Amino acid sequence: MIRFECDYAEGVHQKILENMMRTNLEQTAGYSEDVYSDHARELIRQACGKEDLDVHFLVGGTQTNLTVIASVLRPHQGVLCAVSGHVNVHETGAIEATGHKVLAMPSTDGKITAEQVQEAYDAHWRDESREHVVQPGMVYISQPTENGTLYSKAELTALRETCLKCGLPLYVDGARLGYGMAAPTNDVTLKD
């Protein structure tokens, strides 16, 4: 039986385990300051076609989402996401623990649209008491979503254009990005 509840349900691929055994007794600086992390950073830059990328490694998805979101948002801002978004339902309140509200928007397929983002942004600025309301400060999406749906390149482009127009960073949670890239219906490349 194959179980799809999470990506932590089994160990590691045999080739990774072999490499771990081969390098087990090497002493390195760790904390991503070792030659293996440097090599991985270089491979990621090459795969993305951008040599000037900053590539950082964190220990897990929740810590990554927490770090990125908390570093981007001002104290009075929140993060827009689908109601089913990972930061809204599976991060055990980590985002809110930093004082930032998750501004969940309705979605039937796990995806939010550029139009929803624009409407949330406009609604905030139309509100006469906006200084008392959490301001949208960024947009969070998962690719693929928690429902398993994929954003198309056109949807991502529309979201990005709206975010640029509104001055909102667009953050793509890539915890399942590999699955999405391998999906037969995917039309997005890593360089995209």
Write out pLDDT tens, residues 70-83: 999 999 999 999 99
**85 and 174 share a domain?**
yes
- Identify whether residues 27 and 45 lie together within a single domain: yes
Residue 157 lies inside a defined structural domain of this protein: yes
Distance CA 136, CA 143 (A): 21
Shared domain for 101 and 147, answered yes or no, is: yes
Give the pLDDT of residue 59: 85
Q: What's the CA gap between 43 and 51, in Å, rounded?
A: 10
Q: For the domain that residue 122 is a member of, what is the CATH number?
A: 3.40.640.10
Query: CA-to-CA distance for 127 and 81, rounded, in angstroms?
Result: 20
Question: Same domain, yes or no, for 86 and 174?
Answer: yes
Q: Which domain holds residue 20?
A: 1-57
Read off the pLDDT band of 3 (50, 70, 90): low
Residue 16 maps to a domain: yes
Claim to verify: residue 44 and residue 87 sit in the same structural domain: no
pLDDT in tens, 47-93: 999 999 999 998 888 999 999 999 999 999 999 999 999 999 988 78
C-alpha span between 55 and 45 (Å, rounded): 8
Please check whether residue 80 lies inside any domain of the structure: yes
pLDDT on residue 11: 82
Specify the 3-state DSSP secondary structure of 105. strand
Tell me if 187 is assigned to some domain.
no
Q: pLDDT class for 176, splitting at 50, 70, 90? A: confident
Prediction pTM value: 0.88
Number of domains in the chain: 2
User: In 3D, which of 14, 4, 140, 145 has the Cα closest to residue 65?
Assistant: 140
